[in-house]
Amino acid sequence: MKHKAWSGRFKEATNKLVEEMNASISFDKRLYKFDILGSIAHAMTLKKAGILSDKEAKKIINGLKSVEKEIDAGKIEFTAAMEDIHMAVESRLTEKIGALGGKLHTGRSRNDQVALDIRLFLKDQIFEIIHLLHGFRQALVDVAEVNMDVIMPGYTHLQRAQPVLLSHHLLAYYEMFVRDAGRLIDCLDRMDEMPLGAGALAGSPYKLDRHYTAGLIGFSRVTENSLDSVSDRDFIIEFLSAASIMMVHFSRLSEEIILWSSQEFGFVELSDAFSTGSSIMPQKKNPDIAELARGKSGRVYGNLISLLTTMKALPLAYNKDMQEDKEPLFDTVDTIKAILSVYGPMLRTMKVNKDKMLRATETGFLNATDAADYLASRGVPFRQAHEVAGKAVGYCIEKGKTLDMLTFDEWKALSPVFGKDIKAAVSIKRSLNTRKVYGGTALETVKKRLKAVKKEMSGGCC
């Protein structure tokens, strides 16, 4: 029977199928750097507690560092028999430094070890994601600035509604992605607790200075309850939730890019470098990246649901079910990072068809609200003003006209309140520029917001 770290009480060897199913090494090997970092901190804590001598701690730490180098260099071939990354590192350490390697696990369990590893991994990745997110927001801001004078139809129900600036539309996404960054920062703060010392579930009988360990590996706090320390995966769920919300934003933006680059809209054209073709239809230029970003929202939400479902009925404390936390987490991290990396360059190289967007504001009566507002601002109750403007739209549809084509006599016939200045009041540019309310789409308001946003961005990513 092959020896396993836990096989003291076992008489039979592990069934091959059990070994395969039980192993997490194929995916948790990517935690090796964090596992080794945690082990070094643990060795130092054991030294501080008088469990390891200076010499022993040094030997263990140097051994761990050389295991890390071997893994970096791809020299260790991971197999299912190794079970998981914690066992793999420990057994290689023991091969290298002898029985002393077996002292490292004093006062520790894989349960608190894995809880630490994932926190370290996720902290590291969230920093990276926040940084990528900042770069992507910069792309949104730059594209908004370059296209400051582009007017387009704003929609409700995907029906033309009122004219807006393209930059205002893009900055709407900026706001969403700022909230996403905020959620990630909140998540980082809440997960900033060090679980080592919880042991298997009940805490450790050794005098481990948990605050010292936390300081060594950059945690601000230690976890408060040993049972919770090894059972908690809220921080992953919270990250997956924040990632899912971010994917809602990417999916909505993608949907718009896909619509806008269709021939029906023709508002934008993605560059060749960020488009793909069809194997059968030579004319095709497809927005695959936007489609994939929209599509990948499915797997990210799926990952969230997967972990919520895994966790929902687990009794305290650790259960092996929890090994299922890693793949959804890794997949989400990889997906989000890939989208964040490609999306900025895609937007920056997108051609904006300014004329087509402006022309689209000229039909569809996007200025009908302005006709109603004209009357309302001259004392007509808005409901009545709405009715008159609606009649004006009906009249135009009948005559095949747009509102700005109506003569003064035609306006007068609709309501005696209309003066000669109604013509100017329903111009698209004016419609847009009257919306000076804080947060509105008037050019000067958007310019002010852009200035504030640029200042916000120059302050860094968090």
CB of residue 218 to ligand ARG, shortest distance in Å: 22
Give the residue with the Cβ less far from ligand ARG, 333 or 442: 333
String of contacts with ligand ARG for each residue 157-186, x by CB under 6 A = ------------------------------
39 contributes a contact to ligand ARG by CB under 6 A: no
Give the residue with the Cβ less far from ligand ARG, 29 or 252: 29
32 contributes a contact to ligand ARG by CB under 6 A: no
Q: Look at residues 217, 160, 57 and name the one whose alpha carbon lies nearest to residue 65.
A: 57
CB of residue 95 to ligand ARG, shortest distance in Å: 20
231 contributes a contact to ligand ARG by CB under 6 A: no
Q: Which residues of 209-223 are buried (b: 16+ CB within 10 A; e: fewer)?
A: ebeebbebbebeebb
Q: How many CB atoms lie within 10 A of CB 72?
A: 11
Residue of 39, 45, 111, 261 interacting with ligand ARG (CB under 6 A):
111
Give the residue with the Cβ less far from ligand ARG, 232 or 373: 232
322 contributes a contact to ligand ARG by CB under 6 A: yes
CB of residue 110 to ligand ARG, shortest distance in Å: 4
Give the residue with the Cβ less far from ligand ARG, 236 or 422: 236
Q: Does residue 157 have an active-site annotation?
A: yes
Residue of 42, 47, 108, 110 interacting with ligand ARG (CB under 6 A):
110
CB of residue 26 to ligand ARG, shortest distance in Å: 11
24 contributes a contact to ligand ARG by CB under 6 A: yes
Give the residue with the Cβ less far from ligand ARG, 84 or 373: 84
Give the residue with the Cβ less far from ligand ARG, 68 or 83: 83
CB of residue 231 to ligand ARG, shortest distance in Å: 11
244 contributes a contact to ligand ARG by CB under 6 A: no
CB of residue 186 to ligand ARG, shortest distance in Å: 25
35 contributes a contact to ligand ARG by CB under 6 A: no
Residue of 323, 384, 402, 427 interacting with ligand ARG (CB under 6 A):
323
Q: Look at residues 193, 201, 209, 205 and name the one whose alpha carbon lies nearest to residue 42.
A: 209
CB of residue 29 to ligand ARG, shortest distance in Å: 11
* Beta-strand relationship, 268-269 and 351-352: antiparallel
User: Pick the catalytic residue: 157, 211, 226, 431?
Assistant: 157
Which range, of 109-117, 135-143, 145-153, 189-197, touches ligand ARG by CB under 6 A? 109-117
Give the residue with the Cβ less far from ligand ARG, 23 or 44: 23
**The tokens 């920093």 sit on which residue?**
127
User: Pick the catalytic residue: 220, 278, 341, 377?
Assistant: 278
What's the chain look like in SS3? Answer: CCCCCCHHHCCCCCCHHHHHHHCCHHHHHHHHHHHHHHHHHHHHHHHHCCCCCHHHHHHHHHHHHHHHHHHHCCCCCCCHHHCCHHHHHHHHHHHHHHHHHHHCCCCCCHHHHHHHHHHHHHHHHHHHHHHHHHHHHHHHHHHHHHCCCCEEEEEECCEEEEEEEHHHHHHHHHHHHHHHHHHHHHHHHHCCEECCCCCCCCCCCCCCCHHHHHHHCCCCEECCCHHHHHHCCHHHHHHHHHHHHHHHHHHHHHHHHHHHCCCCCCCEECCHHHCECCCCCCCCCECHHHHHHHHHHHHHHHHHHHHHHHHCCCCCCCCHHHHHHHHHHHHHHHHHHHHHHHHHHHHHCCEECHHHHHHHHHCCCCCHHHHHHHHHCCCCCHHHHHHHHHHHHHHHHHHCCCHHHCCHHHHHHHCCCCCCCHHHHCCHHHHHHCCCCCCCCCHHHHHHHHHHHHHHHHCCCC
Binding positions for ligand ARG, 113-132, rule CB under 6 A: 114
CB of residue 118 to ligand ARG, shortest distance in Å: 8
Residue of 35, 68, 84, 112 interacting with ligand ARG (CB under 6 A):
84
Can you tell me the distance from the alpha carbon of 111 to that of 96, in angstroms, rounded to the nearest whole number? 24
CB of residue 325 to ligand ARG, shortest distance in Å: 7
433 contributes a contact to ligand ARG by CB under 6 A: no
Give the residue with the Cβ less far from ligand ARG, 274 or 318: 318
Q: Does residue 278 have an active-site annotation?
A: yes
Greatest Cα-to-Cα distance within the chain, rounded to the nearest angstrom: 101
319 contributes a contact to ligand ARG by CB under 6 A: no
Q: How many CA atoms lie within 13 A of 439 on its CB side?
A: 2
String of contacts with ligand ARG for each residue 299-318, x by CB under 6 A = -------------------x
Q: Using CB under 6 A as the criterion, which residues of the chain lie in contact with ligand ARG when the complex forms?
A: 24, 28, 84, 110-111, 114, 318, 320, 322-323
Which residues are marked as active site?
157, 278
